[in-house]
Structure 1
Amino acid sequence: MHRALSRIAVPLAAASVLIAAPAYAQGPANDGDSRAAGDVPAAADNPGAYGKNDAGGFRNVLPPGQNGLDTLGQILNFRATGALPKHWADQQPLYDGLLYASPTLTDSQVKDYYKDATFGVKKKNRAKTVKPRKGVTILRDKQYGVPRIYGKTRSDTMFGAGYASANDRLFLMDVLRHTGRADLTNFLGGGNLNADANQWQNNAYTEADLKRMLKAPAQGSLKEWNKLRKDVKAYVKGINAYIKAAGKDDALLPGEYAAVGQKLKKWKATDVMSVATLFGGIFGRGGGAEVTSAQILRALEARFGVEQGRAIWTGFRSKNNPTAPTTIPESFPYQTGDSFAPKGLALPDPGTSVTPWKVISGDSSSSALAAADDSASVGDAIQKEQLDGHHSNWELLSAKNSANGRPLGVLGPQVGYYLPQVLMELELHGPGIDARGASFPGVSMYVQLGRGRDYTFSATSAGSDNVDTFAEVLCDGSKYKYTYKGKCRKMEKLVRNLAWAPNAIDKTPAGKAKLKVYRTVHGLVTHYGTVNGKKVAYATARTTYLHEADSIMGFRRFNEPDRMSSPKKFQQSASKIQFTFNWAFQNAKHTAYYLSGAYPERAKGTSPDFPVLGTGKYDWQGFDPKNYTMDLLAPERHPQTKNQAVMVSWNNKPAKDWSASDRQWGFGPFYRSNLIEEKLQTAVSGGKKATLAQVVQAMEESATQDIRAAKVLPTVFEAMGTVSDPELTAAIDKLKAWMADGGHRRDLDKDGAFEHTAAIQILDAWWPKLLTAQFESGLGTEAFSEIQNMISFGAVSSRPSAPGFSDGWWGYSLQDLQRVQTGAPVPGGFPVAFCGNGDKTACSTALQDSLKQALTVTPEQLYGAGACVTDPQPSCWNANRARVTAGVTAPSVYPFQNRPTFQQAVSVGR
């Protein structure tokens, strides 16, 4: 994200006594809570029966392990002996092992890398049973410790989900609720100030706002919503029952609380909302970069004139590149209007500056930001997930293309790597609910990505456009008043006061700061500028703002068998999710897809790409400022299909004519999804039938490929023409040998170095120099730099990080070189050629010179920073590194794979 893969070590003060603590200890028999009236007792008995209500065929993996509870005694024991708590990292070998088995993977080996995810636990494999209150039974298996929660009533099941979640992730849940509220600095220390500022800028909410979210949804049945509220209430009671028990029993208390000097505090329903705002704001939004896009446009217009500048902007924008790969081939038009429509257009005036709003103030803020190490900020790590290119994917093959006659699926979300993991696994059973899979702690009353009785469901972040920017025209000579529907109105000021002291985790000197943003009827102010000579404040409007809780309705339905019995019912359930996700569904007969999200109907005739005036005349259709509701795109207009032969989503373009959001400029002539889809299409070509192992293999082989080697370098070499320099020839030979071997970044022989390390180093050094040689002189320095503010090169970053190969300049490079080579326009490409100003010889010279420069770059210059100072090579630099929020700090480094964090391998049936 890009990515600052960071970690926290928790150095605890020496203690004279080691506290012996079981991995899972039983809590109180009853906390005195009575079940809500109206709960219907469950008909099922025999909690834990293995395979009950289970169609079979489900496997999954979620590294490093289920357990996230490390007591003070366990932390000290780890520091003394290196011993890990039980179930701390027992799934990591499965996850890592697939990397090495992938090239020759067989069906019989799939079980070695994905654990059994069947409902229930075999009697011989049952660990100690916990009954935190009457009506609730929590079983765990001996092998991996995954909790199976059984409730006599639905509220019992929700209570059990809260209790088990707190058992496995209590300290992390505390971190998440504070991050969502933008007061993590108060909890963990001053190193999180920047993260709190980012959260406050994008998702500032008052306590009243969080309470308001729970009252009623923007759309849907109030009766169903009231049931959901009861679920949340019971879930919170379960969390608090565990907190009460942990306050009396050190064997249940995470040791990290001692490190930060914090006490246990009860949960509230608004804490659940806080966590929902955090993850919805990170993974479920798209767009909102209209101001940056406008600045790029102005730079291009200044360089090339208005007409040519706009044409070049359109080429880089890649809004609807006709050659872009899509998950489904059908057309679902959205936001296809004129980008430059003059109606309400609010571009910043040429030659004027746009000033970002400064969120942080206070005497200590500057010193805190200077002293803080963002590699030690949990908040920064979580915030940066929004920018991370290391994202989710899923692959589905229809029954007709499957060797066993049933659909095949490999599916999962990529949410980064944490210790303990920021996802947790649980299994839920009660009246109307049967599900198992992964959830975010703090909102884990439902399985959010997983399986039901006879179906599976998963998602990738779509990033489709649910955020717009409005230019509020200022009035009364004030920065904090604006004109709306003919009246001069005051902006609402939202303030968060922060104070911190050094602790064992964060040594930032004590201080105070204030976070401040202003809110208009449209949203939070992000920038100030000038439009048509008038001063404006740019405010972002997000359809899910103040409605983060609404999406919970869809997740609730995913866990209910009656709501997921067919592709149609799945799509209806997915349509209740307001966050922007690509949802996959699979059962024993069918596969299906649906793009969820609350997408606004913009004012007719206005630009879908740039800011528009916020005077009220150009609001979203049906916009109601009081309730923050608007007209939304009808469900039937969302991209969707069923039983397509091969479907792949790796955060790529969903469908033809579904415009990329204004923040997404990377949907060019190819995308990383091509790497997987091409392998699957080969597997089923000519009437062949594929196996589950082949689907797994298509995913895993693509997880280590460098997209530049696979898709760009062949055209680069063609454009270079004849190369006579022996040094360049030798370098090209190394690159071609690596490409012939698949262009992987992996270490199959486990000798500590990637195969073809020399070639990888050459490309890593060459890539930014190649792009600079290709584009800078033609674009001019200002425009060249501005475009990088929207979409980076995809080059080696400034600190060790794993590459995502999602968005970069590879499509730009390819299409520009194709135009130079052919001398003709390329579909979806630029109106002019940049490399060598279109001259083949000049382009060849520029490319060869850039490679010559790259060969002078040393490994130390490329990779000799951070954790790789003593091991400057790509295998170190690209390793997946966990963000550690625990006192037990291992394992924290894993071999590179661009693969989902939680992953299922499924063919429903026995």
Structure 2
Amino acid sequence: MRRLLSVFAVLVFGFTMQAANASAKEYAATSLNIIPSGQWGSIPAPAGADSQALMYDALTPLFNNVTFSDIKQNFKSQGFGVGPDGPGTNEPVPYDGVTITRDKYNVPHVDSTTYDGGIWAAGWIAQEDRGILLAQVRYNARIAAIDVPNITAYSAILGLDSFVPSAETEEVVAQQTEALLAKGSDGEQALADIDTFLEGMNAYLAANSPGTAPWTRNDIYAINAFKDQFLGEGGGDEARRSQFLDGLQDRLGVKNGWKVFDDLAQNKNNGSPTSVDGKFPYMPIPQNGRAGTVIIDHDSYDEFDPVVGGAPMPLSGSDPRTNSSNTLMVTKKKSATNKPLMVGGPQIGYNYPSFMWEIDMNAPGLKWTGSTSAFAPGYLLIGRGEDFSNTLTSASADLIDQYAETLCGGSDTMYRYKGQCLSMQEFNAGTLNGDPVKFMTTVHGPVTGYATVDGTKVAISSKRSSYGKDVVDILFNQRLSNGSVTDVKSFYTAANQSPQTFNSFYIDNKHIAMFTSGRLPIRHPQVDPRLLTKGTGQYEWQGFLDKAGHMQGMDPKSGLMVNWNQTAAHRFAAADDSWGRNGSVARVDMLNKQLKKNRNANGKWNLPAITSAMNSAATQDVRAIVTVPLLRKLLNGSKPPTGQAGQMLKQMRYWTEKAGSRLDRNGDGLIDAPGAASMDGAWDNIANAFMKPQLGSQLDELNSLFSRFDSPPGGQYNGWYQYFDRDIKRLLGKDQPKPFKKSYCGKGDLEACQTAVWNAIAQSGQELTSEYGTSDPSQWQASATAEEITFSPINILTMAYTNRPSGYQQVVAYKSHKK
């Protein structure tokens, strides 16, 4: 069987079966990485499991002063072979022609004389290095594959829950085989690779855990769905946003309610920071009627709990989707070395064991080194080929829509579709911790709950464009791994294979590039993509965005390609659940401002300059960088109500002037800058003060949709600092590409706004005096210990707060390219 598959690989990909350990030319000038969670995955964690975490943590206090020496000391080799990370230790495996050598970080270096041997070895390593984690993931991941409403696979995995799938679930998951077969020879090869990968996984289990049920294709499909749910999708929160709009209209009137909603949703904004040149129009707001849009009554949405008879589960308020990962890239023209540069990686939290691990793969037709996981059977996820590197950030583009189903037949389980009264179908998913999991489905997807429209009950259902196609994402990884990616054009083609939504980045010795993937629906022109779609059948999706419509670009004129999950290009609409993606300011401004400071006399950058920018932004507070300067302008010339309030603003100013860091440099457990304590204590009150004139009683409801601030140790992605920027600039008469339609602070009256903000600061001063036991803001110091980083579920090291890539961070530059 393996011999036949190897022949197939030669026919499809033109692989030559030369010895895998033949010497190869090194095309990289610099190729380094760091994975703080490390390669080990056993419990308890063995000695050395924290070795990379210690290196990672050592970079943090260097702030904006990272040197070449620091980079070499705090990142490890991403070259091929054991290299400087030796001596290597050979590990015996029961597969002819396969050698696995472990380096001092426990990273496996695979040498195989056959293509199949490399794929098999990756399966063996998956079970050897992550068997404990994978045992917890494999069945719980089915929750994502079948879109169980209002429960996530992530929460079940971290909660150590136990989902036992039904036969009905297994039948649905198995249909992803057809999704791969529909992709022709690439899909057929992927299936063959999945099977070979499973052979490796099950060989390890047979030898070391014979009582464990063998892994199947369904396990791989489900884990792909888990990745999709956790990192690769966006949208699907229209019901909550819709009832929020209705509440605005109830209080402010229909016209003004729409204006406030338009402002807060920040659907498109020509003034937002982007990553690539050009405009990519997607998801227009209807201009001539919204007949296909439904607005439900305020506070009427009741989410459905699919667990029958069990303890209540946390519903949509605990959505684990991450808006993390950053990448800093410099073009050849703006590089001090005349070669493109990149520092970047995904932020996926701090877990031990980690969902990702590392392999150096050297087999005929497979030449890569980097991170991988069980969803990518022997394929590269993030890392490098021989002459290029890739990385990604979450794009959270709008793949999911919720529908308002018109009920009929006097029943809560019958609905109208294309003129017929249809019965919902019950889906028996299995059990969670022994309790049955059941839910209803419509033609659109699972029923997530019920609501009312003008008092009439409707059902809410959810439709995901990548449903049943999660595994197709691996065709991108396949091309990254097998030599198909040779330049920017072929990288775009590879990235476009994925139905999941990511910003994928590419670098070689000449170019930098980005492509945003995803199976992006084209909505009916009378559907507002921010709100519920009428489910009667007249307003269905009208196809999917073609490759040319996806955000993409290479070598920006500015010389920089920087992304920290903001929109990558103008005119591309934010998903209904991503109100922070198109803000006028964002945390990416911290990277951009530091990069500007770090240019040399010729206006160019080297690797220490961009690594320093990443590292300094990682401990800055975005409010110190973008909000405090505007706050000072707002309050300039006005009198504080108390001397303490004035001193609080003064401390915030000092903090900003000293780069706005949250570092604890002296190790006393306290943030060095007193201004951080003033801002932390005052921000919620300031946010309420400037938003209350329009939001009124809906302040906390808005916070549930788009939080006042994603405080450290959170990632600072969400925050009303974006609203403050646009509103206060409008109030002060500053030019903006797209100002808000309504005034918020003081309803447009400068003096009223100043008074409200000063009073909020003064109120906070009283609260902080009680907390710190002194009325002197210069003596207040917020806890650094409270925002330290720990690994979950097993803590291998407690680290200082930093907001940088945690999954797999690279520092790379290429000097040449294969001919």
- Tell me if both proteins adopt one fold, taking TM over 0.5 as the criterion: yes
The equivalent residue for 1:749 is: 666
| Cα distance in structure 2, aligned partners of 1:353 and 1:198 | 30
Q: Does 1:604 align with 2:525?
A: yes
Q: 2:351 is matched by which residue type in structure 1?
A: Y
The equivalent residue for 1:292 is: 240
Q: Does 1:807 align with 2:718?
A: yes
Q: 2:722 is matched by which residue type in structure 1?
A: G
Deviations 1:651-672 (A, max 9, x none): 0011110011111111211111
The equivalent residue for 2:214 is: 266
Q: Does 1:856 align with 2:766?
A: yes
Q: 1:632 is matched by which residue type in structure 2?
A: F
Contact 2:295/2:532 (<8 A) preserved: yes
Q: 2:757 is matched by which residue type in structure 1?
A: L
Q: Does 1:180 align with 2:141?
A: yes
| Cα distance in structure 2, aligned partners of 1:591 and 1:769 | 43
Contact 1:343/1:607 (<8 A) preserved: no
| Cα distance in structure 2, aligned partners of 1:112 and 1:859 | 43
The equivalent residue for 2:333 is: 400
The equivalent residue for 1:843 is: 753
Contact 1:194/1:380 (<8 A) preserved: no
| Cα distance in structure 2, aligned partners of 1:664 and 1:729 | 35
The equivalent residue for 2:740 is: 830
The equivalent residue for 2:255 is: 307
Alpha-carbon distance, 1:580 to partner? 0.7
Matches within 5 A, 1:193-342: 206-217=169-180, 220=183, 222-247=184-209, 264-338=212-286, 341-342=289-290
The equivalent residue for 1:712 is: 627
Unaligned runs of 5+ in 1: 1-31, 76-83, 249-262, 501-511, 622-630, 864-870
| Cα distance in structure 2, aligned partners of 1:760 and 1:176 | 39
Deviations 1:248-274 (A, max 9, x none): 7xxxxxxxxxxxxxx633211100111
Q: 1:898 is matched by which residue type in structure 2?
A: N
| Cα distance in structure 2, aligned partners of 1:638 and 1:714 | 36
Report SS of the residue matched to 1:880: coil
| Cα distance in structure 1, aligned partners of 2:534 and 2:316 | 33
Alpha-carbon distance, 1:571 to partner? 0.6
Deviations 1:792-811 (A, max 9, x none): 10165xxxx61311111001
Q: Does 1:655 align with 2:569?
A: yes
Matches within 5 A, 1:537-616: 537-561=459-483, 563-616=484-537
Contact 2:31/2:812 (<8 A) preserved: yes
| Cα distance in structure 2, aligned partners of 1:122 and 1:193 | 40
Alpha-carbon distance, 1:38 to partner? 3.0
Deviations 1:7-32 (A, max 9, x none): xxxxxxxxxxxxxxxxxxxxxxxxx9
The equivalent residue for 2:305 is: 358
Query: Aligned in 2, Cα 1:523/1:204: closer, same or farther, shift over 3 Å?
Result: farther
Report SS of the residue matched to 2:175: helix
Report SS of the residue matched to 1:541: strand
Unaligned runs of 5+ in 2: 774-779
The equivalent residue for 2:127 is: 166
Q: Does 1:673 align with 2:582?
A: no
Q: Does 1:121 align with 2:32?
A: no
Report SS of the residue matched to 1:104: coil
Contact 2:9/2:189 (<8 A) preserved: no
The equivalent residue for 2:777 is: none
CA RMSD of aligned residues (A): 3.2
Contact 1:354/1:527 (<8 A) preserved: yes
Contact 2:390/2:506 (<8 A) preserved: yes
Alpha-carbon distance, 1:334 to partner? 0.4
Deviations 1:545-579 (A, max 9, x none): 11111111111111122x21111111111111111
Report SS of the residue matched to 2:141: helix
Deviations 1:251-302 (A, max 9, x none): xxxxxxxxxxxx6332111001111111111111011121122112111111
Q: Does 1:513 align with 2:430?
A: no
| Cα distance in structure 2, aligned partners of 1:730 and 1:48 | 66
Alpha-carbon distance, 1:45 to partner? 5.8
The equivalent residue for 1:18 is: none
Q: 1:817 is matched by which residue type in structure 2?
A: I
Query: Aligned in 2, Cα 1:328/1:859: closer, same or farther, shift over 3 Å?
Result: farther
Of 743, 747, 760 in structure 1, the residue corresponding to residue 676 of structure 2 is: 760
The equivalent residue for 1:251 is: none
Q: Does 1:895 align with 2:800?
A: yes
> Which has the higher mean CA deviation after the structures are superposed, 729-738 or 897-906?
729-738
| Cα distance in structure 1, aligned partners of 2:769 and 2:361 | 50
| Cα distance in structure 2, aligned partners of 1:104 and 1:682 | 12
The equivalent residue for 1:63 is: 36
Query: Aligned in 2, Cα 1:890/1:468: closer, same or farther, shift over 3 Å?
Result: closer
Matches within 5 A, 1:373-772: 385-386=320-321, 388-389=322-323, 391-498=324-431, 500=433, 512-531=434-453, 534-561=456-483, 563-621=484-542, 631-644=543-556, 645-666=559-580, 667-684=582-599, 687-721=602-636, 722-724=638-640, 725-756=642-673, 758-772=674-688
Report SS of the residue matched to 1:216: helix
Alpha-carbon distance, 1:826 to partner? 5.3
The equivalent residue for 1:868 is: none
Q: 1:699 is matched by which residue type in structure 2?
A: M
Report SS of the residue matched to 2:659: coil
Q: 1:678 is matched by which residue type in structure 2?
A: K
Query: Aligned in 2, Cα 1:49/1:33: closer, same or farther, shift over 3 Å?
Result: closer
Q: 1:731 is matched by which residue type in structure 2?
A: M
Query: Aligned in 2, Cα 1:614/1:641: closer, same or farther, shift over 3 Å?
Result: same
Identity of aligned residues (%): 27
Contact 1:765/1:862 (<8 A) preserved: no
| Cα distance in structure 1, aligned partners of 2:729 and 2:58 | 40
Query: Aligned in 2, Cα 1:778/1:265: closer, same or farther, shift over 3 Å?
Result: same
| Cα distance in structure 2, aligned partners of 1:872 and 1:687 | 40
Q: 1:119 is matched by which residue type in structure 2?
A: F
Q: 1:214 is matched by which residue type in structure 2?
A: T
Contact 2:17/2:114 (<8 A) preserved: no
Q: 1:62 is matched by which residue type in structure 2?
A: I
| Cα distance in structure 2, aligned partners of 1:569 and 1:806 | 32
| Cα distance in structure 2, aligned partners of 1:875 and 1:434 | 43
The equivalent residue for 1:878 is: 787
Query: Aligned in 2, Cα 1:499/1:694: closer, same or farther, shift over 3 Å?
Result: closer
| Cα distance in structure 1, aligned partners of 2:552 and 2:635 | 43
Q: 1:335 is matched by which residue type in structure 2?
A: M
Contact 2:180/2:191 (<8 A) preserved: no
Count of residue pairs the alignment pairs up: 791
Q: What is the TM-score of this pair, normalised by structure 1? A: 0.82
The equivalent residue for 2:776 is: none
Q: What is the TM-score of this pair, normalised by structure 2? A: 0.90
Alpha-carbon distance, 1:779 to partner? 2.1
Alpha-carbon distance, 1:603 to partner? 2.0
| Cα distance in structure 1, aligned partners of 2:23 and 2:646 | 62
Of 819, 839, 855 in structure 1, the residue corresponding to residue 730 of structure 2 is: 819
Report SS of the residue matched to 2:124: helix
